Amino acid sequence: MLIAAKEILHTSGMTEGDPFWDTIRDELLGKPSEELTDCHKPKPILLPTGELSRPHPWHPEIVDVQIITVGSLAVTAIPGEFTTMSGRRLREAVQAEFATYGMRNMTVAVSGLCNVYTHYITTYEEYQAQRYEAASTIYGPHSLSAYIQLFRGLAKAIATDTVANLSKGPEPPFFNQLILPLIPNIADRTPLGRNFGDVLEPVKAEYRVGEVVEVVFVGANPKNSAENQTHPTFLTVEKYEDDSATWRVVHNDASWETRFYWHKGLLGLSNVTIEWHIPDTAQPGIYRIKYFGNNRKQELLQPAVILSFEGTSSAFEVVTTYWKVDTSFKG
């Protein structure tokens, strides 16, 4: 993989490198190998990313290819961006492969940017011109041919019902330990005299269908939950069942009717707002909202510890609105 000089110099159609940028590259990152240079001709290599591996590889070395079929529709999951002609050639090749093995009249759809991103994929002819898309074709002039070969193999396996015989291939690495967090992992704190999960802004006593229940808790960074899988959800909306004297979960954080907002404060302080947009299907009764969180505790010179906690709103009633029709008026 590489990045062409034209990407930075903004000159379309370049097939020769720039001495100034090439010198900087050689001094900082190292000169591209002859093998890499020959492989990618006529592209001028600015950054030899395929030969760079610190702190981890600079481009995907294991690429996903996938076909999903629904009836006569075949969706090809492309890990990049095809040019128009590349997409046409792939569709025709996959359709022909299906037809060869008895699946005629298949409609092939090209779905880009799937699973992993490998920049653009051009035809061999487009690659020779080295315009923008070709400059971003990172696996060389024969990238399209490689993809077509792989997708034809998938189409054949589907058509001949031999998918189970396919080798899954190597698993791509997951570099989560090397990803810089957007939110630093600092210790969570509570306001003076408060605990995690305490209610800061309580609910009302009564709500009607169509209204929004809102409650604010003393919160913690929700990112901590990735390190402590104690609870499968950040929130629940629960209804009290009289016959069993228990609380039944009716919604969680995956429900359309709920919203979860984390408000980051200073020095580890934060709040969580939970909303429940009461749907028309809600049954009258007594409800409550629960918040499930994890806080990071950090003692001096000690490793951080993730601790789970819960918060519960006071109970509130959901009532149904009834309209009384006045039949006394006679026009």
210 plus 130 within the same structural domain? no
In a domain, 59, yes or no: no
The phi, psi pair for 60, rounded to 5°, reads: -65, 130
What is the mean predicted confidence (pLDDT) over 86-100?
98
- Per-residue pLDDT at 300: 77
- Per-residue pLDDT at 146: 97
- Per-residue pLDDT at 11: 67
- Structural domain boundaries enclosing 301: 199-319
Structure tokens at 262: 């984390």
- Per-residue pLDDT at 201: 97
73 plus 169 within the same structural domain? yes
Whether the predicted pLDDT of 203 surpasses 70: yes
Per-residue confidence at 194, pLDDT binned at 50, 70, 90?
very high
- Per-residue pLDDT at 6: 44
Per-residue confidence at 178, pLDDT binned at 50, 70, 90?
low
SS3 state at 127 = helix
**What is the overall mean pLDDT for the chain?**
90
- Per-residue pLDDT at 7: 47
In a domain, 242, yes or no: yes
- Per-residue pLDDT at 173: 81
111 plus 140 within the same structural domain? yes
154 plus 237 within the same structural domain? no
In a domain, 164, yes or no: yes
Whichever domain contains 312, its CATH number is 2.60.40.2300
In a domain, 191, yes or no: no
Whether the predicted pLDDT of 322 surpasses 70: no
227 plus 309 within the same structural domain? yes
Whether the predicted pLDDT of 303 surpasses 90: no
In a domain, 328, yes or no: no
Least trusted range by pLDDT, from 45-49, 130-134, 290-294: 45-49
Whether the predicted pLDDT of 79 surpasses 50: yes
In a domain, 58, yes or no: no
Q: How many domains does the chain have?
A: 3
167 plus 105 within the same structural domain? yes
83 plus 127 within the same structural domain? yes
C-alpha to C-alpha distance for 144 and 137, rounded to whole angstroms: 9
In a domain, 99, yes or no: yes
241 plus 205 within the same structural domain? yes
Per-residue confidence at 1, pLDDT binned at 50, 70, 90?
very low
71 plus 19 within the same structural domain? no
Give the total residue count for the chain: 331
Least trusted range by pLDDT, from 45-49, 109-113, 238-242, 312-316: 45-49
In a domain, 152, yes or no: yes
Give pLDDT tens digits for 132-163. Answer: 999 999 999 999 999 999 999 999 999 999 99
112 plus 160 within the same structural domain? yes
Whether the predicted pLDDT of 175 surpasses 90: no
- Per-residue pLDDT at 54: 83
- Per-residue pLDDT at 325: 59
Q: CB neighbours (10 Å) of residue 137? A: 29
- Per-residue pLDDT at 56: 82
Whether the predicted pLDDT of 5 surpasses 50: no
Whether the predicted pLDDT of 183 surpasses 70: no
214 plus 306 within the same structural domain? yes
Between 57 and 276, residue with greater pLDDT = 276
- Per-residue pLDDT at 100: 97
223 plus 250 within the same structural domain? yes
Structure tokens at 12: 């379309």
B/e letters for 64-75, b = 16+ CB within 10 Å, e = fewer, are: ebebebeeeebb
Give pLDDT tens digits for 16-29. Answer: 888 888 888 888 88
Whether the predicted pLDDT of 101 surpasses 60: yes
Whether the predicted pLDDT of 9 surpasses 60: no
- Per-residue pLDDT at 326: 64
Structure tokens at 111: 């779905």
B/e letters for 16-51, b = 16+ CB within 10 Å, e = fewer, are: ebbeeebeebeeebeebeeebbebbeebbbbbbbbb
